[in-house]
Amino acid sequence: MTEKDFILIHSDTSKLTKGSFTWESPSNIALVKYWGKSEPQIPKNASISFTLSNCKTITTLQFSKKENLTKDFNVEVIFEGEKKDAFKPKILQFFKRIEQYVPFITEFNFVLETKNTFPHSSGIASSASGLSALSLCIMSIEKEINPNISPEYFNQKASFLARLGSGSASRSVEGEIVVWGKHETIAESSDLYGVKFPFKIHSNFSKYQDTILLVDRGEKQVSSTVGHQLMYEHPFAQQRFDQAQENITKLTKILQNGDLKAFVNLVESEALSLHAMMMTSNPYFILMKPNTLKIIEKIWAYRKEYDSNICFTLDAGANVHVLYPEKEKEKIQFFIEKELSELCQNKHYINDCVGKGATEINNFV
Ligand code: DP6
């Protein structure tokens, strides 16, 4: 598939006057990280993520035909029940980026109603789940216009559109384990959209657990846009991209053979490499907080003492994702409550686990 395959050619909307679609889309956490991209939203290396079951965005997109056709976009945004003009510029920019692929979006007035299942300003990014949910709603409109599209194309294009909004959003359409970015060991992988991990996953990884420790609930210190830019002139950029590609090869094997010790080693090394990139860029950043480090030390001590497979990963911030097999759930959740919760802001953490991809929950035309 190339970019051209995602351009809608016959865009006859004459039979479509109004309607609404609702999609629920999950957040995801990368195991091998995407950090560095080129235009238009093409990743410098492939990434792999776990899809999260409990951290979701639910979006309803209402649409009605404009009375007078204009070339601009008309969208009202309602976030958690309240009109939110502050979100509009981001949505309008997204519409602009995807217009050539879904030209019908200029023909409708939109009301976008959206809410998250995780608390606002929890430090959990909602751009992946939010932009994928919106892309899926737009694809539902495309399917009304062109009912012949296959479910496979539907998901690929939803992921393709979501990617243009935010790279990691391309990994929030399909379920369980998703790969985004071309990689030699995964034939169906693409820089343009995310694909479901195509091999049989070892049972050690089924319902893998992720407890998100909210160490810092504030605004992100470095936006991902700025973060990705730091990789342009980064002295270690090429080594990092090569390392990530090698890690995808390794992780592809680990996910099939169930080697948990190798998983722990690779996932933690990826998280620390991501942060090392930020510490060695110019300008430089330390995104961990003292409690991030305290948590990491406690995780390491627990792992040693109980010969556990607990490990951590990080995104571009201070929060810690604690990853562990379902088998160890009871013991580790007890440890988290007893020893790690006090290192979180207001003792706040979220228990989650790997789950399915996005689902349509309502439609009306
Ligand atoms: C550290 O997807 O947020 O979470 O494409 O600029 O929107 P944009 O970036 P974004 O970057 C995510 C970075 C990361 C790693 C990852 O999710 O792979």
Cα dist. 218→182, 204, 222 in Å?
34, 34, 11
3-class SS of residue 88: helix
Count of Cβ atoms closer than 10 Å to residue 267 Cβ: 23
- Supply the pLDDT for residue 122: 65
**37 CA → ligand 1 middle, Å:** 10
How much distance in Å is there from the Cα of 34 to the middle of ligand 1? 6
DSSP class of 201: P
The token duo for 321 is 């994702």
CA distance 133 to 24: 6
Distance, CA of 73 to CA of 96 (rounded, Å): 8
For residue 250, how far is its CA from the centre of ligand 1 (angstroms)? Answer: 21
Probe residue for ligand 1, chosen from 45, 168, 321 as the CB with the greatest number of ligand atoms within 8 Å:
168
The alpha carbon of 62 and the centre of ligand 1 are apart by a number of angstroms equal to 28
Shortest-distance Cα residue to atom 8 of ligand 1: 166
- The candidate with the shortest Cα–Cα distance to 114, out of 76, 74, 72, is 76
| Cα-to-centroid distance, 168 and ligand 1 (Å) | 5
Buried b (16+ CB within 10 A) or exposed e, 59-87: bbbbbeeeeeeeeebbbebbbeeeeeeeb
Tell me the C-alpha distance between 309 and 311, whole Å. 6
Question: Could you give the residue ranges of the DSSP H alpha helices within the chain?
Answer: 88-98, 127-145, 151-165, 224-229, 237-257, 260-279, 290-306, 329-335
d(CA 274, CA 197): 22
What would the two tokens of residue 80 be? 């958690």
Each of the 365 residues of the chain gets a pLDDT tens digit; together they read 999 999 998 888 988 999 999 999 999 999 999 999 999 999 999 999 999 999 999 999 999 999 988 889 999 999 999 999 999 999 999 999 999 999 999 999 999 999 999 877 666 778 999 999 999 999 999 999 999 999 999 999 999 999 999 999 999 999 999 999 999 999 999 999 999 999 999 999 999 999 999 998 777 778 888 899 999 999 999 999 999 999 999 999 999 999 999 999 999 999 999 999 999 999 999 999 999 999 999 999 999 999 999 999 999 999 999 999 999 999 999 999 999 999 999 999 999 999 999 999 988 88
Query: Tokens 């510490």, residue?
Result: 279
Beta bridge pairs of residue 212: 321, 350
Give burial (CB, 10 Å; 0-12/13-18/19+) of 8. Answer: middle
The closest-lying atom of ligand 1 relative to the alpha carbon of residue 228 is 6
Q: Ligand 1, closest atom to CA 47? A: 18
CA of 12 to the centre of ligand 1 (A): 35
Say how many Å lie between the CA of residue 167 and the centre of ligand 1: 6
Closest ligand 1 atom number to CA of residue 163: 5
Q: What's the pTM value of the predicted model, to 2 decimals?
A: 0.96
Confidence at residue 63, expressed as pLDDT on a 0 to 100 scale: 97
Q: Whose CA is nearest to atom 7 of ligand 1?
A: 166
Residues with CB under 6 Å of ligand 1 are 30, 33-35, 41, 47, 127, 166-168, 224-225, 228, 274, 315-316
- Helix 260-279 vs helix 237-257: crossing angle, to nearest 10: 160
Handedness of CA 125, 127, 132, 138 (dihedral sign): positive
Beta bridge partners of 20: 62, 364
- Dihedral angle sign, alpha carbons of residues 164, 165, 169, 173: negative
Q: Is residue 160 within 8 Å of residue 97, measured between CB atoms?
A: no
Check the CA dihedral 273-270-337-318 and report its sign: positive
Q: Which of 48, 91, 192, 224 to mutate to test the pocket of ligand 1 (most atoms within 8 A of CB)?
A: 224
